[in-house]
A and B are shown apart, each in its own frame.
Chain A
Amino acid sequence: MTARPLSPAAVAVLQAVAAGVRHGFDIMDSAGLPSGTVYPILGRLERAGFVRSRWESPTVAQREKRPPRRYYEISATGLHALALSVEHYRTIGRGGRGTPGVAPKPQRS
């Protein structure tokens, strides 16, 4: 899984989650992507173990007079995959030799 960089949309979603945006609708706002795209991405990321999801406690929800919401958090592997993918897209952006679909070689100077 880590061998292939994430899609740009997945990177946007994962970046939002990494930045602490927790709920579905807020992630859509933050990533600037429609719901029909964001939710399947979240599902895939969760299945890959890059994000975890939980239901917030009913007490919090009750206090705010609304039903409990589901929230998403990034995992350690998710952070790693995000870093790799960001690096990959940056290489392309610089006009480097990174090819889509191929993980860039780590370049440490």
Chain B
Amino acid sequence: MSERPWSPTADATWRRCRALVRLASTIVSRDRRAAWRAEWLAELYSRVLALDHAGVLSASARRDLVVRTLGAFPHALWVRQSEWRLDMLMQDLTFAARVNWKRPAFSLLVIITLGIGVGANSAMFSIVNAVLIRPLPFPHSEQLVYAFGAFKGGDQAAISPPDYLDYRAQTHVLSSFAGRTPFGTAVLSSGDDPERVTAPRVTANFFSTLGVRPLYGRTFLLEEEEGDHKVVMLSYGIWQRRFAADTRVVGTTTSIDGEPYTIVGVMPDVMGQIFPDQLWLAMPFHTAESSVRRFHMLRGIGRLRDGATLAQAQAELDGIARRLEATYAEDASWRVRLVPYHDIVVGGSGPVLLLLLGAVGLVLLVACGNVASLMLARATSRQSEIAVRTALGASRAQVVRQLLTESILLGGAAGVFGLLLAVALVRAVHAVGGNLLPRMSEIRVDGIAVAFTMMVAVLTGIVFGLAPALHAARQDVAATLRSVGGGRATGAKHALRLRDALVVGQVALSLVLLVGAGLLLRSLWLAQRVEPGFDPRGVLSAQISLPMDGFRSHDAIERFWAVFLERVRAIPGVERAAATTMLPLVGGGDTYYYVDGHPPASDADKRTAQVNVSTDDYFATMRIPIVEGRALGAEDRSLGNDSLGHGTVVISRDMAERLFPRGGAVGSRLVVDVGKPLHAEIVGIAGDVHAFGQDVQAPDILYLSIHQISSFHNGRIMSLAVRGSREGMQLAAPIRKALRGLVSGVPLANLASMDQLLRTSLATSAFRSRLLAAFAVVALLLAVVGLYGVLAYTVTQRTREIGVRIALGARAREVLTLVVTRGMRLVTVGIVLGLLGATAAVRLLQGMLFQVSTLDPLVFALVVALLVLGGLAASLIPARRATRISPMAALREE
């Protein structure tokens, strides 16, 4: 086709299309390319020729032709992918499987190492996903906001019922605003086994605000907020457990706190994720305490109108708060603070979980370091094999594809192993974790976690297999083949440098993790050593709450405790028994007080302290020392009549020293708000008690005797503390019998030994410290194995050199030093880098540490020592092997 048989326009079109086809043809594999191109070009040529000869090669015809030519690209891609057919993939896979099978140690090491890294990540990801990422189980849960009462003295208070009603009536930005008492329990006695369960009071719109419909029956009606309606709703769990999941339960009555209540509805299981096992009672707005603006008892849950923001709602509520402030003196400085509801549910677990996720990510990095190191070593040792295959005509692409298939296969196997590990770990977290994390019940290895795991594993396989693969493919075939048998393949040196760098990185990362774990463990250890201020050993605790019926007067209540405690003390094995409203680690409640004669100038200057109302034997039972004055006793009856409000008080030591820095606390007087002012003479000073846990500062406590209090703290709900010589739980049955002998239908709730409560109070920090420590130990082991691998490989590589040295008279010590020095050089560089990283990383731990500085020298020194020891251990085995190299054998290898 030397002469052009067509017009210049046709020629231009032909050239353009031909260029496109040629470009597309590069996609097609080489052996099919010529035929593929010939077909396209022949079709194009014929078409251009025909159109040109017919004189219809218009602009639109030319455009159509170009468009049609562009179809060559999808066609070429299709040809390419159809070549990559299953049989070829299978061939690659079987070969890869065979290669991996033939080196079981190598493959297992990679699978286990990577599997551990990936599995731990997957488990951690499942936890983070369930707790932090997954939305709350309510429709449009992003619209839900939580409302605290806020005033000068704090921004996590509650809202008074009358204020709540005003907010509810006036808000427009919130499409719905519900209220709920943050505490509240009730005794449910369906059948003959009374049980104390969580039973908050909720407003009628509580469930509709959350967007949850009842499973059976209905929710509360607006009119049930008024008047004394005895109606109750059941959670799914209670319904299952206590009512045998009977659908006919709606409309029947059950006994709550000894009174008949009508069950109006059962809520679905989904509520249980946020509100486990509980009852809901209707919030009454007609009672005396519900009509006082000073009495803050509700927390709000609101739903933002579509498109509204939290800031808009906050601004609107602030406006309402200002109007309330102007109208009611009690509302001075009070407002409502909104927080996304998700944040409330997640609570403080966010930073801890993210920290652990970061830590486990570092573990994966260390694991990847090992995998990469192993892959590099293998690629180096397989250079000869690859060179032979290349020489026999395998293309570079084929070699890379083969190596990649091997890596992906390994990654996939590691992913499966990691997944099994993750499932086991999540099970363990469920078994051990209890209620340490919010939304625990939602934690599971779900589809996203499976996808996450497999993706991480396979990607790791690809990334850490690719570098060695490319490295191997780029080598000089001739040079490698020439050196075959010499055991000194080219590129080995380069690969070794890379592996050195990996070891340094691993040591550095392990150090960061170890320092973090060390700091947390040390602060846990210090917290555990804090004297709680009482003696928990041998003390059994339980809650008892008396019904209104028969216990309306303070005298009746006081009499009950006197008789009951006497009977408990009569039980063989019981040494002492007391009752209190504020048992350490169980509960608390504060009130206002001031030093007599020094009333606070304004509301903002009011001081608060915890109130502990207890029976006479309390200090002796708990073994709380009286450091000055005397303990409370039978003589602390109300002086005069109640209206005068004179009495006695024992205060905690720290508080006494702060209030009376010059001494003289005993004998001074305080005015304590117990619903009305109580003028109390300080008769004693008690040792400080870490009532909220060993890692929390001991609070100020006002101890009052049950004999003199009848208003706020009437003693109807108390904690029982029994000190016995027998194994704690053995006492439970006789105590329960003593209780039943005095009053029926009252459960002995929340039985627990004080020892156990003390341990539980540190459970969260123990959980995170131990988890982080476990991660750090895994990282350390991986790093040690990595170092060992590199050194063992070096010794093998340098067999000849070492043999020559020994032949020339080098002593075992010198050979040993040679290898160990090399190992410790890597460790030292890693430690230096790790220390730099750790000083930056420990800042994340601030706020989680107890009496430990983030740069605690002891922890840092111990960690460095640990790494040095690990490094020595990893170096010594290959070093000893090096000393045993026989010079003759080494030289024969040449």
Nearest CB in chain A: distance from B14 CB, A: 11
Interface string of B56-100 (1 = CB under 8 A from A): 000000000001111111110011001000000000000000000
CB distance from A55 to the nearest CB of B (A): 8
Chain A residues lying within 8 Å of B72, measured Cβ to Cβ, are 35-36
A69 touches B71 (CB 8 A): no
B39, A43: Cβ atoms under 8 Å?
no
Instruction: Say yes or no: is B133 at the interface (Cβ < 8 Å to chain A).
Output: no
Contacts from A to B (Cβ < 8 Å): 23-25, 28, 34-40, 43, 61, 64-70
| Other-chain contact of B45, A38, A43, A66 (Cβ < 8 Å) | A66
Nearest CB of A to B775, in Å = 51
Query: B38 on the interface (CB 8 Å rule)?
Result: yes
- Contact partner, A35, options B1, B45, B75, Cβ 8 Å: B75
Q: Is B46 an interface residue (CB 8 A)?
A: yes
Specify which chain B residues have a CB less than 8 angstroms from the CB of A39 in the assembled complex: 71, 75, 78
- B contact residues around A37 at 8 Å (CB): 71
Let me know if A65 and B1 touch, CB within 8 A: yes
Tell me whether B45 and A36 are in contact (CB under 8 A). no
**What CA separation (Å) do A24 and B70 show in the bound complex?**
14
14 of the cross-chain contacts (CB-CB < 8 Å) are A24-B39, A25-B47, A35-B69, A36-B72, A36-B73, A37-B71, A39-B71, A39-B78, A40-B75, A67-B1, A67-B41, A67-B42, A69-B39, A70-B39
B182 at the interface (CB under 8 A from A): no
Chain A contacts of B5 at CB under 8 A? 65
The answer, yes or no, to whether B43 is at the interface (CB within 8 Å) is yes
CB distance from B535 to the nearest CB of A (A): 77
Please name 16 further chain A to chain B contacts, defined as beta carbons within 8 Å, in addition to the given A40-B75, A43-B82, A69-B46, sorted by A numbering.
A23-B46, A25-B44, A36-B71, A36-B73, A38-B71, A43-B78, A64-B46, A65-B5, A66-B1, A66-B45, A66-B49, A67-B41, A67-B42, A67-B45, A68-B38, A70-B42
8 closest residue pairs by CB, A with B: A35-B71, A36-B71, A36-B74, A39-B75, A40-B78, A69-B42, A67-B42, A25-B43
Q: How far is the CA of A38 from the CA of B38 in the complex (A)?
A: 17
Contacts between chains A and B (CB distance < 8 A), count: 62
- CB-CB under 8 A from A70, the residues of chain B are 38-39, 42
Interface residues, chain B, with chain A CB atoms under 8 Å away: 1, 5, 38-47, 49, 67-75, 78-79, 82
In the bound complex, CA of A90 to CA of B75 (Å): 30
Q: Which residues of B contact A36 (CB under 8 A)?
A: 70-75
When the two chains form their complex, are residues B68 and A25 in contact, meaning their CB atoms are under 8 A apart?
yes
**Cα of A37 to Cα of B82 in the assembled complex, Å:** 14
**Are the CB atoms of B68 and A28 closer together than 8 Å?**
yes
Which residue in A34, A66, A68 is a CB contact (below 8 Å) of B71? Answer: A34
Bound form: Cα–Cα A61–B601 in Å: 110
CB proximity of B553 to chain A, nearest CB, Å: 81
Binding site secondary structure of chain A:
helix
Please give, as numbers and ranges, the residues of chain A lying within 8 Å of B79 by CB-CB distance. 43
| Nearest B residue to A23, CB-CB | B43
Tell whether, in the assembled complex, residue B75 and residue A34 are in contact, meaning their CB atoms are under 8 Å apart. no
**Docked pose: A41 CA to B752 CA in angstroms:** 75
B1 surroundings in chain A (CB, below 8 A): 65-67
The distance from the CB of B253 to the nearest CB of chain A, in whole angstroms, is 56
Chain A: CB-nearest residue to B74: A36
Given contacts A25-B47, A40-B74, A43-B78, contact A35 B42 (CB under 8 A): no
- Minimum CB distance partner of A61 in chain B: B42
Complex Cα distance, B72 from A108, in Å, reads 44
Closest Cβ–Cβ distance, residue A57 to chain B (whole Å): 13
Tell me which of A23, A24, A28 has the highest count of chain B C-beta atoms within 10 A of its own C-beta. A24
- Find the A residue at minimum CB distance from B41: A67
Residues of chain B within 8 A of A25, CB atoms compared: 43-44, 46-47, 68
Chain B nearest Cβ from A71, distance in angstroms: 10
Decide: A24 near B74, CB < 8 A? Known: A65-B1, A65-B5, A67-B38. no
Specify the main secondary structure of chain B where it touches its partner.
Answer: helix
Which chain B residue shows the least CB distance to A47? B82
Shortest C-beta distance, B28 to chain A (Å), equals: 12
With both chains docked as a complex, state the minimum distance between the C-beta of A47 and any C-beta of chain B, in angstroms. 8
Q: How far is the CA of A45 from the CA of B72 in the complex (A)?
A: 18
- Assess whether A24 is in contact with B71, with CB atoms less than 8 Å apart: no
Q: Are B42 and A66 touching (Cβ within 8 A)?
A: yes
User: B74: which A residues are within 8 A, CB to CB?
Assistant: 36, 40
Which chain A positions have C-beta within 8 A of B40?
24
Give complex CA distance A37, B71 in Å.
8
Taking the closest CB of chain B, its distance from the CB of A29, in whole angstroms, is 9
Closest chain B residue, CB of each to CB of A67: B42
- Closest A residue to B73 using CB positions: A36
A28 to B64, CA, bound (A): 12
Q: How far is the CA of A23 from the CA of B39 in the complex (A)?
A: 9
The minimal Cβ–Cβ distance linking A35 to chain B, given in whole angstroms, is 3
Chain A contacts for B39, CB-based, 8 A: 24, 69-70
- Chain A residues lying within 8 Å of B73, measured Cβ to Cβ, are 36
Closest residue of chain B to A68, judged by CB?
B42
Task: Tell me how far the C-beta of B56 lies from the nearest C-beta in chain A, rounded to whole angstroms.
Answer: 13
The answer to whether A24 touches B43 (Cβ under 8 A) is: yes
A23 to B49, CA, bound (A): 15
Min Cβ gap A75→B in Å is: 19
Distance between Cα atoms of A40 and B80 in the complex (Å): 11
Question: Looking at B40, B46, B69, which has the most chain A CB atoms within 10 Å of its CB?
Answer: B46
Residues from chain A with a CB closer than 8 A to the CB of B71 are 34-39
Contacts of A69 in B (CB 8 A): 39, 42-43, 46
Which of B49, B68, B79 has the most C-beta atoms of chain A within 10 angstroms of its own C-beta?
Answer: B68
Which residues of the partner chain B approach A35 to less than 8 Å between Cβ atoms?
68-72, 75
Closest to A24 in B: B43
Minimum distance in angstroms from A58 CB to a CB of chain B: 11
- Of the listed residues A28, A36, A64, the one surrounded by the most CB atoms of chain B closer than 10 A to its CB is A36
B46 cross-chain contacts in A, Cβ below 8 A: 23, 25, 64, 66, 69
Complex Cα gap A109–B78 (Å): 43
Q: How far is the CA of A35 from the CA of B43 in the complex (A)?
A: 11
Contacts of A64 in B (CB 8 A): 46
The CA of A37 and the CA of B38, in the complex, are separated in Å by 19
Nearest residue, chain A, Cβ from B5? A65
| A43→B80 CA distance, assembly (Å) | 12
- The smallest C-beta distance from A34 to any residue of chain B, in angstroms, reads 5
A38, B41: Cα distance in complex, Å: 16
Q: Once the chains are docked, how many angstroms separate the CA of A70 from the CA of B32? A: 14
Closest residue on chain B to residue A41 by CB atoms? B78
Tell me the minimal C-beta distance from B254 to chain A in angstroms.
55
| A24 → chain B closest CB, angstroms | 5
Note all chain A residues with C-beta closer than 8 A to B78: 39-40, 43
CA distance A28 to B70 in the complex (A): 14
With both beta carbons as reference points, the residue of chain B lying nearest to A28 in the complex is identified as B68
Q: How far is the CA of A24 from the CA of B46 in the complex (A)?
A: 11
Q: Which of A34, A35, A43, A61 has the most CB of B within 10 A?
A: A35
Distance (Å) between the CB of A89 and the closest chain B CB? Answer: 24
Contacts of B43 in A (CB 8 A): 23-25, 69
- What is the CB-to-nearest-CB distance from B42 to chain A, in angstroms, rounded to a whole number? 4
User: What chain A residues lie within 8 Å of B45 (beta carbons)?
Assistant: 66-67
User: Which residues in B have their C-beta under 8 angstroms from that of A28?
Assistant: 68
Give the complex CA separation of A67 and B42 in angstroms.
5
- A45-B591 Cα distance, complex, nearest whole Å: 87
Complex Cα distance, B41 from A61, in Å, reads 13
Q: Which residues of B contact A24 (CB under 8 A)?
A: 39-40, 43
Alpha-carbon distance A54/B725, docked complex (angstroms): 101
Residues of B within 8 A of A66 (CB): 1, 42, 45-46, 49
CA distance A20 to B72 in the complex (A): 23
List the B residue with the shortest CB-CB distance to A69: B42
B78 to chain A: closest CB distance in Å? 4
* Chain A residues, Cβ within 8 Å of B47: 25
How long is the Cα–Cα vector from A40 to B74 in the complex, in angstroms?
8
Q: Which residues of chain A come closer than 8 Å to B69, judged between CB atoms?
A: 35
| Contact, CB under 8 Å: B42 / A34 | no
Closest to A42 in B: B75
Identify the interface centre among A28, A34, A43, A67: most chain B CB within 10 Å of its CB: A67
The closest CB in chain B to the CB of A35 belongs to B71
- Residue on A nearest B75 in the bound complex, by CB: A39
